[in-house]
Amino acid sequence: MHRRSFVTLTAAGLGSLLAGCGKDEEPGGVDLRNPPKGPIVLGFSQVGAEGGWRRANTASIRKAAVRNRIDLNFKDAGGDPKKQIADVHSFIDARVSVIAFAPVVETGWGEVLRRARDARIPVVLTDRLIDETDTSLWASSIGAEFASEGNLAAIYLENDYAGTTGTVNVVEILGANGATPTKLRAEGFAATAAKTGRLNIVDQATGDWTKDGGKAAMRELLERNKRIDAVFAQNDDMGLGAVIALEAAGKKPGSAPKIVTVDGTKAALQGLADGKLTYVIECSPEIGEPLMSVVVDLFHGGRVPKRIPSEKAVFDAETAAEALLDRTY
């Protein structure tokens, strides 16, 4: 697969970066007549380490920070929203250059982000979004288009049933309650399914993004539903957990029922190549380089895009086998 390459701008290239950026347009509140000196310090709060995708996401950020000579103050929220907010407060107290975080949940961010703005510390959202009407509280967001991932899952699944009669009973294994991808992937899938009515979403269960959670959720769904034609698991780990539960129940996951997952981890692509999954929608965790580019730009008072989408693709068994050759996560 072809990857976009990202170039981090350093102080040497600052002149071209700031062309056309007037004093009134400085997002970080930096006086360009007296450019900042010293190390760039990024305070980053991660959701947790709940699966292979998240661990790869953390590895990408750590590696890119070292490569770009950015001091990384890294904290793991362990899935706890209160701890994550406390961690962001600690970054403000430490006077870091930039704050970035992947929010555990969407709500509850107004107070701490207003405090960061008052302290003139720019904020970057990664992977997920937050539910705040004042979008000036963050300078940029980097991550996937979650609704689009749900759309793609429904499109590819529905194409497999083109020309058939009757409806397809689909169950969903959802991520954590209150998380942006949980809500938007479900909305995207439902919106596309509703266009023809062929995909009938009959039930949902929460798997909390983990393989064990996906296995437990699949067991619940099997107990409640006599006929399941397809499964939409909102991440790979939950989908692979569903495979275990389905096989234990005497089913043939990948064909009866079909399974679509999201992320594109090596384990999922192997499961796809082995016929255990049907489609995998990529949601790349490798956002370290674009994040560090934004951090450097903000440190020097530059302008940054409000939204930077990550890569996505759709894999089937054939393309998964090819992608496995250089998949690092």
- pLDDT reported for residue 36: 56
- Inter-residue long-range contacts of 8-17, CB under 8 Å, 24+ positions, other chains counted: 8/67, 8/68, 8/289, 8/292, 8/293, 8/296, 9/293, 9/296, 9/297, 9/300, 9/302, 10/296, 11/35, 11/300, 14/300, 14/302, 17/297, 17/300, 17/302
- Residue pair 242/217 in contact by the 8 Å Cβ criterion: yes
Q: What are the CA-CA distances from residue 61 to residues 67, 110, 290, 295, 303 (Å)?
A: 10, 25, 10, 12, 21
Kindly state the tokens that stand for 265.
């981890």
Nearest to 286 by CA among 67, 25, 23: 67
- Residue pair 233/216 in contact by the 8 Å Cβ criterion: no
Against a cut of 0.95, is the pTM above it?
no
Max CA-CA distance within the chain? 70
- pLDDT reported for residue 44: 98
- pLDDT reported for residue 37: 66
- pLDDT reported for residue 170: 98
Region 11-143+285-310: CATH code: 3.40.50.2300
Please list the rounded mean pLDDT of every run of 10 residues in the chain (329 residues). 30 31 38 60 94 89 96 97 98 97 94 97 94 95 93 95 91 93 96 95 97 98 98 97 98 97 95 97 92 95 91 91 88
- Residue pair 259/253 in contact by the 8 Å Cβ criterion: yes
Tell me the per-residue pLDDT of 70-88, one tens digit each, with 9 for 90 and over.
Answer: 999 999 999 999 999 999 9
Residue spans of the domains in the chain: they are 11-143+285-310, 146-283
- pLDDT reported for residue 215: 98
Tell me the per-residue pLDDT of 19-51, one tens digit each, with 9 for 90 and over.
Answer: 333 333 344 444 434 445 679 999 999 999 877
- pLDDT reported for residue 178: 86
Domains 11-143+285-310 and 146-283 share a fold: yes
Region 146-283: CATH code: 3.40.50.2300
Kindly state the tokens that stand for 267.
């384990």
Nearest to 144 by CA among 127, 157, 166: 127
- Residue pair 297/306 in contact by the 8 Å Cβ criterion: no
Q: What are the CA-CA distances from residue 296 to residues 64, 103, 117, 155, 324 (Å)?
A: 12, 22, 18, 39, 33
